Amino acid sequence: MQSETTIKPSNNYSRPIPLLAILLVALAVHGPLLMMQLPSGSFDTNFHIFFASHYVHHWFNPWNEKWFAGFSQTTYPPLTHQWIALFSNVVGLNMGYMLVQLIAVLLLPVGVYRFARIWVDETAASCAALGSVFLGALAFLVYQAGQLATVASAALYLNALPYFYEWMTSASKLSLAKGVAIGWAAAAAHHVTLIFGLVLFAGPVLWVACLDAHKERVSASIAGAIGRAIAFAVLIGAGVGIILLPYWVAIIQHPIHQIPIPHDSRANFLLKTTAGINYFIIPYGALILALPFILWRGASAQRLRPLLWGFWVTAIFGLGGTTPLPRWLLGRAFEILTFERFTFWATLLAMPIVGQFAAEWLRRYRTKAAVGLSIAAVGTLSLALAWLAINPYRPTGTLNVDPVDAFLNRDGHDAYRYLTLGFGNELSKVSTYTDASTVDGEYNSARLLPEMTHYGSAQLTNAKFYGSAGMDSLRSMLRHASRYGLKFIFVHDPYYEPLLTFAGWRKIETFDEGSITAWEKDDVPPAHRILSDAVPPAWQGLMWGTLPIGASALAIFLEVFFPNKRRVPVSIPVHPRKENQFVA
Amino acid sequence: MKLFLIIFFVAATVALIIAGLYQTPTASADTVGITSGSSLLAPKPDTPDRALTLFLQDMQRRNWRKAFGDVAQANGVDEQAMMQEWSGSNGSLRTFSSLEGFQLWPLHESNDDAQIRAHMRWSTPVGPVEEVRDFGMQRDGNIWKVVFSKIEVPATPAQVVPVTYLRWDLVTGGESGSWGSRNVDAPRVRIISMNAVDSAEGTVIVGEVTNEDTVPAFVNVNATLSDEDGKVLDEESSFDRIAHILLPKEVSPYRIDFPGIPLADVKNVRMDVRPALVPASADPVIGVINQKIDKDAQGNSVLRGELLNQSGETVNIPHVIASFYDGNGRVIWVSDGYIDRALVPLGSEPFAVEIPRSLAAKVQSYHVVVNHYDLKNS
């Protein structure tokens, strides 16, 4: 009787992990961290919340006067910001951000699972999905970089790719509809992911579909698969062209001609070890130990070779300036892009092979493997979280900017423009809650003022970190204070005080126990509207307010009302081994 | 196929990484002020040039311990003294500065010693500062080391300095949050000279402004250039090339740059001075001594001199503004420069400001005004 109820250990470790269990693990790991608002201190969180706050008040008007003396929000795909804006009506902006980030984090293992099923069996795919919850690169982007849109877009994109494969290999119209809708939503979340994803993610999928067609593992012919891939690409391209039309108009009208802004992800990691730790060791974590296996297994199985190529190219790009390849292939775009996102994509591309590795180990070594893999996974995540506290790139920490907002919102101070110095990403927080506008801002691609685009530095509030270029940019802006109505400057770093003193500003108030000082220039006239040809017309505002969110609504509708009958039509054992090899 | 692929990926990765070591570093990969860590692949300091490069890179990254290892010990400099000399003290401009870059020029080299001139570019809050410094190098076995000589600062004897300066306070009538006068007339301030100069960078307006009142004034001079159709070409201000606070009867030079606008395009210059009443004090008193026009290492004309702090408080960042006059007493140029060492009580520091080659021959006299930033009173 007892022997009938005992489950053999080998069965336990060979079975796929249920997706629901993986989602619960993701929720258990990231849910509390997000509800604690850990990403609040990340680089870009306040930036995303600032963009969202504009949609709360002006859903159909993307022209935002609060930064750069006016800029168009059509320069950044709006999907995640609009969802935050919608959630904020119930839970507020901060928690709205955390909810959207949580949704993206939960969509990611689902996407990894479904993407991995293209390449490996269900057990390996489930291991890949579970592993993706603990990725150092994910923790890096969510908690340190605050790259909500990159994470959300990648998660959506991974969910779209299996439909792309299904459409190519089985001509399922529902797969086409779902894949296209999710692809549109992914593009509406982040354009860069779509552009590079076409090559780095969709390329291997197209390749493997052709391989399967060639080997007659699927019913489609190679020509049919390629033809359907072209049809898919045309639909995606046309849709993205229309959905993000205001973005394309903005980027064509004002191409990014500014002087390149330094970013350590473009450094040579061997010559700049801190950058190497930040952009290689932390994102990969224990995956570094699996690199030989990824290479070995990826090269061994013919079906995995496209994935290996995709991983290798993406990983080399993720090394930034350590190799010359990104610069050769990207040209000037090398100086505009940042490369941490490539490392994130590389880890995602590696996950199917890593899942295969984990599944094999679990079959062979069972409990020992489970313990080892768990330690590796948790260690990777822990290292990325610990790095938040000790890395030299960490944001300056929380700063109470409420007195600054209170100052700007009283006594007609918002009739003038302001500047913050030494505020880091808290600039966005100040901007979110004041009516006054600033000449600075955190989104480099939207800058049009010559004082900012001609010097090769990013935000004025962080000018000192860009050396002479940054300080020259700041000096140039201060010189033209009267032109922009720039009367008030808030300083959280005494570094800037000598310049302000010599340039004719005087300290007038102190906030937050002396951590912030307010400076004023007496002879500055009130700010007036700066004329710009970048103001989007009303029809663009209407498109911007309906189509991106509409694309996501369509994807949700199709997923909810037309659930999948089967996930992925093909499950090929990529490296068949004798069963007795896996049984201890 | 499998083996070929593995060999290809490994070989290609290694080759690309090696190629990466030989490519010119991109400026867009370098931020200032963030710890960059040591290089995993540092070359051996087997030439004077390489040794000094490594030393300056370590100093730039503030790897003091490693940099001190590059210094010849016979010189008797300890690590603390080296750190302090390099990173400044007393809230001076150097304490706010980061070494942004450098270029080296060998002066001479023998088997056992060498001398190298370093042109160093510092990033500071008030703009880039150039420094030229000669480093001695010494052979130590197979490697070279830097002879780091500490600058000796004369110690001032303990003494009492009487405070007798004038001070003007301002009662704003309960109007909090405002520093200028809102309810009294502005002080009488007048531009006493103005001259438009055509420089290589564009039009430059130079001149002097004086406070004719009996109370201190805060001044800012603005200029607007227009062409012959009356169209405004540009509007700029004196920014930091003026002493903003003028005590009664005090005169300050000013200079307003209009980069990219040739004087030939300018038909009209409209000057605008905006004074405001402010509290001020005559302290600290900074004297200018031993002034003379001289040549620097590159053969450019410079006005050299010394600043003498006659008060009992440290002046953290002194700023020198000099106006140069021709034979008719007309201001023909205004130069300025920041001193990167603090002026300690009763101490002195040398200064030098440049005179353009094209104007050097016309300069007959000069006048130096010292502006300052004090940490305590900012």
Q: What confidence score (pLDDT) does residue A446 get?
A: 83
pLDDT over 70, % of chain B? 90
Q: What confidence score (pLDDT) does residue A576 get?
A: 41
In this complex, which of A264, A499, A509 lies closest to B34 when CB atoms are compared? A264
CA distance, residue B111 to nearest chain A CA (Å): 30
* ipTM for the whole predicted complex goes beyond 0.90: no
CA A67/CA A53 separation, integer angstroms:
13
For chain B, where do the domains classified as CATH 3.10.450.100 start and end?
42-147
- Decide: helix, strand or coil at residue A397: coil
CA B170/CA B156 separation, integer angstroms:
35
CA B330/CA B253 separation, integer angstroms:
12
Asked if A178 and A190 touch (Cβ cutoff 8 Å), the reply is: no
- Decide: helix, strand or coil at residue A42: coil
Give domain B283-373's CATH number out of 3.40.50.720, 2.10.10.100, 3.30.930.10, 2.60.40.10: 2.60.40.10
Nearest to A347 by CA among A393, A294, A276, A391: A294
Asked if B134 and B117 touch (Cβ cutoff 8 Å), the reply is: yes
For the segment B336-343, the average pLDDT, to the nearest whole number, is 92
For residue B277, the cross-strand partners are B217
**pLDDT tens readout for residues B147-201:** 887 777 777 788 888 888 888 887 766 555 455 545 678 899 999 999 999 988 8
Q: What confidence score (pLDDT) does residue B163 get?
A: 82
CA A72/CA A154 separation, integer angstroms:
25
CA distance, residue B110 to nearest chain A CA (Å): 31
Q: What confidence score (pLDDT) does residue B378 get?
A: 64
CA distance, residue A464 to nearest chain B CA (Å): 7
**CA contacts within 13 A on the Cβ side of A473:** 30
In this complex, which of B2, B19, B319 lies closest to A502 when CB atoms are compared? B319
A260 touches chain B (CB under 8 A): yes
For the segment B23-37, the average pLDDT, to the nearest whole number, is 56
For chain B, where do the domains classified as CATH 2.60.40.3230 start and end?
167-280
Mutate to test the interface with B, among A502, A511, A524 (most CBs of B within 10 A): A502
Q: Containing H/E element for B136?
A: strand B129-140
Closest residue in A to B18 (Cα) is A323
- Using alpha carbons, list the distances in angstroms from residue A143 to A94, A382, B7: 14, 12, 37
CA A524/CA A479 separation, integer angstroms:
11
Among B60-74, B144-158, B319-333, top mean pLDDT goes to B319-333
- Decide: helix, strand or coil at residue B368: strand
Q: What confidence score (pLDDT) does residue A581 get?
A: 38
**pLDDT tens readout for residues B190-237:** 999 999 999 888 999 999 999 999 999 999 999 999 998 889 999 999
Q: With both helix axes pointing from N to C terminus, report the angle between A173-189 and A79-91 in degrees, rounded to the nearest 10.
A: 80
In this complex, which of B36, B179, B317 lies closest to A275 when CB atoms are compared? B36
CA B94/CA B98 separation, integer angstroms:
8
A441: amino acid identity, one letter = G
Mark yes or no for CB contact A479/B123 under 8 Å. Answer: no
CA distance, residue A61 to nearest chain B CA (Å): 33
**B contacts of A277 (beta carbons < 8 Å):** 37
In this prediction, residue B115 has a pLDDT band, given cuts at 50, 70 and 90, of: very high
Its CATH class, for the domain covering B42-147, is alpha beta
Pull the structure tokens for residue A387: 């790095």
Q: Is the peptide bond before A262 cis (omega within 30 degrees of 0)?
A: no
For residue B104, the cross-strand partners are B118
Contacts of A40 (CB under 8 A, 6+ apart): A46, A94, A398
Alpha helices of A44-190 — where are they, by DSSP H? 45-57, 79-91, 93-117, 122-133, 136-139, 148-170, 173-189
CA B132/CA B121 separation, integer angstroms:
9
Please say if the pLDDT value at position B34 is more than 80.
no
Pull the structure tokens for residue B106: 């060998």
Nearest to A358 by CA among A348, A370, A346, A345: A370
- Decide: helix, strand or coil at residue A462: helix
Mark yes or no for CB contact B10/A260 under 8 Å. Answer: no
Please say if the pLDDT value at position B352 is more than 70.
yes
CA B60/CA B83 separation, integer angstroms:
11
Q: What confidence score (pLDDT) does residue A569 get?
A: 46
Model-level pTM?
0.86
CA B83/CA B65 separation, integer angstroms:
10
Topology of the domain comprising B167-280: Immunoglobulin-like (2.60.40)
For residue B305, the cross-strand partners are B351
Nearest to B259 by CA among B278, B283, B277, B234: B234
Q: What confidence score (pLDDT) does residue A444 get?
A: 83
Q: What confidence score (pLDDT) does residue A512 get?
A: 87
Q: Is the peptide bond before B350 cis (omega within 30 degrees of 0)?
A: no
Asked if A86 and A455 touch (Cβ cutoff 8 Å), the reply is: no
The full 3-state SS of B276-326, as one line of letters, equals EECCEECCCCEEEEEEEEEECCCCCEEEEEEEEECCCCCECEEEEEEEEEC
Q: What confidence score (pLDDT) does residue A143 get?
A: 95
CA B242/CA A143 separation, integer angstroms:
46
CA A128/CA A117 separation, integer angstroms:
10
Asked if B36 and A279 touch (Cβ cutoff 8 Å), the reply is: no
Mark yes or no for CB contact B123/A523 under 8 Å. Answer: no
Pull the structure tokens for residue B78: 């300890």
**A contacts of B20 (beta carbons < 8 Å):** 268, 270, 319, 321-324
**A contacts of B10 (beta carbons < 8 Å):** 295
Mean pLDDT computed over every residue of chain B: 86
Q: What confidence score (pLDDT) does residue B179 get?
A: 52
Asked if B168 and B250 touch (Cβ cutoff 8 Å), the reply is: no
Q: What confidence score (pLDDT) does residue A575 get?
A: 45
Centroid of chain to Cα A52:
16
Give residue for tokens 């060492």.
B341
For chain B, where do the domains classified as CATH 2.60.40.10 start and end?
283-373
Phi, psi dihedrals of residue A300, rounded to the nearest 5°: -75, -45
Q: What confidence score (pLDDT) does residue B44 get?
A: 81
CB neighbours (10 Å) of residue A569? Answer: 19
Sign of the C-alpha dihedral computed for residues A484, A487, A490 and A491 taken in this order:
positive
pLDDT under 50 in chain A at which residues?
1-9, 567, 569, 571, 573-584
Pull the structure tokens for residue A191: 């354009």
CA A233/CA A252 separation, integer angstroms:
22
Phi, psi dihedrals of residue B221, rounded to the nearest 5°: -105, 130
Please say if the pLDDT value at position B127 is more than 70.
yes
Mark yes or no for CB contact A479/B236 under 8 Å. Answer: yes
